[in-house]
Every structure is written in C-alpha cells, then in structure tokens.
C-alpha cells in the first residue's frame, strides 16, 4: 500500500519552486495499515508530482527526522524508524543530492547525539554546519524515550559531530513496579468529563474503584502549600516551580518522566521524588518506582 497521509515526514521548499517531501509514517504501530516509508515525493511548480523509491539498503524507512537544505543537497538527520533499525548511540545521517536525487549515507565521527527523533535542525550562518536541538533520544527497548536537552553540531564537509552543550540537569523516570500501563490518562479524562461533559456523554472509566481526583490535584506538588502543576504546551506535560527552578513532568501510558531545568538541592529532590511516587501509588492502587538508569 502507498499512502501520502503521514506523520513525521519532512517538507523542504527549494529555491526553484519545488517542494521535497521525505519519508514519514502512515498511522501508528497498533494500526493494521501502519507503514514507515523511505521514499521522496517532489511537488513541482507546474503541478506535476514525482515519486522516487529507494532500496532499504540505501535509504531505510525514515520518520520524525529533520531535513536541512545545504547547498545543492538535503541533509537528513535522525529518525524513529522500526525497532529493528535502531542502534543505541548512533545518529543516522543521509544526503539527498538534488541534481540527480540520489541518496547516500553520510559517514560520521565525533560525539553524536544518539538515536534522535522529533528534533529541530538549522543550517548555521556560515553554511558549513547544521545545529541540532530538542527532540527525543531512544535508549533501548526497555527504557523510556529521553528528552534531548543539549545542542549538537554536524560539520557538513567531514561529517564530524560536536557537542555544543552538556547541561547538568536532574532527570528521572517513574514506572509501575509491574511495568503495566498506568491509568493517569483515564483519570484525567474522567475528571474532564465530569467537569465539562454534557448529559449522556459516555464514561470510559473501566475500573472497579472510583478515580481519586483529590490525589490528582496534589500530583507533582512538593507540599500542600505549593501551587498545583500547570499544563504545558503538550497535552501530557505539566510544570511546577520549586525554589525558582522549573520542573517538567511528562505522562505516557508506560511512564512518567521528570526533568529539572537546573538543579535542586539533594534534600528537596528526595522529597519531590518520594511525594510524587506516593501520590502515583495512591492514584493507581499499585506500587511505583524510579527506573534505574
């Protein structure tokens, strides 16, 4: 099946009016039509469309990468890809030559970010390097994705990676001890339904016990006097400020990640961790723990 309804594809306008779309995925892994593409689709100014296919050995399925125009080429950095493609510590880099539309892997050296996806990439002012920021790092099948907090530079001429920052921020990941999916999303959805729903709106709460909204209100607070956590720009991200330092929590079905955008004292950090774990245990009626690095 070929489908152009995709997530995670890149779209690069060229000076001559063409627009180059690279890869992307259709739906997600749980869908029977899920597929990650390794093609290039070119929209031309005259309205025509060119679809280019490549061998997987030359250009593997690629999604949530970055595509940076650099001279007469597009440099493709990072990907999520299929699980069997991923290699811890490596950052895939490919070069799409715009004169003949061939793709080739770029051999790199230096300190690379790792298996990176959903990041941003920008050509430096000198046109000789690409600066990469943000995104998420894959650290292995048994570990949570980790937010990339540092900046990296790739020298286009020789493929050498340079780490530009090394932020010493505190971070940790909390998981259910039995590693089963949590129900934080379900609790938040049920709270929304009861506050904002209309008569007859169906409830999707499927648990024997009632959702603990009182515990939810105290989640991520250092103590009872602290302000409630505020929802961030992401639907599943919440922020608090402790001792003038911002702390972000990101919730998924499998884990909760915490990132201190700076440093808390060891004493305050320990209190925050233990109080958060205690509240999660109450919400879930199940034991939680901090995932080992």
Confidence of residue 293 (pLDDT cuts 50, 70, 90): low
Residue 140 has pLDDT above 80, yes or no: yes
pTM, rounded to two decimals: 0.89
Distance CA 161, CA 174 (A): 32
Return the SS3 of 57. coil
Q: List where CATH 2.120.10.80 sits in the chain.
A: 10-163
Per-residue pLDDT, 97: 98
Architecture label for domain 10-163: 6 Propeller (2.120)
Question: Residue 53: is its pLDDT beyond 70?
Answer: yes
Given a cut of 90, whether residue 25 has pLDDT beyond it is yes
pLDDT at 221: 96
- CA distance linking residue 202 with residue 190, whole number of Å: 10
pLDDT at 70: 97
Largest CA distance in the chain: 65
The pLDDT, as a whole number, for residue 193 is 96
Contacts of 142 by beta carbon, 8 Å cutoff, 6+ apart: none
Task: Tell me the C-alpha distance between 166 and 76, whole Å.
Answer: 24
Q: What distances in angstroms separate CA 155 from CA 46, 97, 112, one per listed residue?
A: 35, 17, 11
User: Can you say whether residue 243 is alpha, beta or left, with left for phi > 0 and alpha for psi between -120 and 50 degrees?
Assistant: left
Q: Tell me, what DSSP letter sits at residue 191?
A: H
- Give the mean pLDDT of 228-246: 94
12-17, long-range: CB < 8 A, 24+ apart = 12/67, 12/68, 12/69, 12/74, 14/69, 14/98, 16/45, 17/44, 17/45
Distance of CA 13 to the CA centre of its chain: 24
């Amino acid at each position: 099946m070929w489908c152009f309804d995709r997530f995670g594809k890149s779209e690069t306008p060229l000076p001559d009016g063409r627009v180059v779309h690279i890869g992307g995925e259709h739906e997600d892994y749980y869908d029977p039509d899920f597929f990650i593409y390794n093609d290039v689709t070119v929209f031309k100014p005259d309205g025509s469309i060119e679809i280019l296919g490549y061998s997987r050995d030359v250009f593997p399925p690629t999604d949530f990468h970055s595509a940076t125009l650099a001279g007469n080429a597009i440099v493709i950095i990072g990907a999520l890809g299929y699980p069997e493609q991923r290699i811890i510590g490596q950052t895939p880099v490919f070069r799409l030559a715009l004169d003949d539309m061939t793709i080739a892997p770029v051999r790199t050296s230096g300190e690379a970010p790792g298996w990176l996806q959903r990041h941003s990439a920008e050509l430096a002012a000198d046109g000789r390097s690409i600066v990469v920021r943000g995104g998420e790092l894959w650290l292995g099948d048994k570990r949570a994705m980790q937010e990339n907090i540092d900046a990296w530079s790739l020298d286009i001429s020789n493929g050498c990676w340079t780490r530009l920052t090394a932020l010493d921020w505190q971070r940790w990941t909390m998981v259910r001890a039995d590693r089963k999916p949590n129900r934080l999303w379900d609790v938040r959805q049920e709270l929304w339904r009861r506050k904002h729903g209309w008569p007859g709106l169906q409830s999707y709460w499927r648990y024997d016990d009632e959702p603990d909204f009182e515990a939810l209100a105290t989640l991520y607070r250092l103590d009872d006097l602290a302000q409630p956590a505020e929802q961030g720009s992401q639907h599943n991200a919440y922020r608090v400020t402790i001792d003038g330092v911002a702390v972000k929590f990101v919730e998924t079905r499998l884990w909760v990640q915490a990132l201190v955008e700076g440093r808390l004292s060891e004493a305050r950090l320990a209190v925050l961790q233990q109080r958060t774990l205690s509240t999660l245990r109450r919400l879930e009626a199940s034991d939680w723990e901090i995932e080992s690095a």
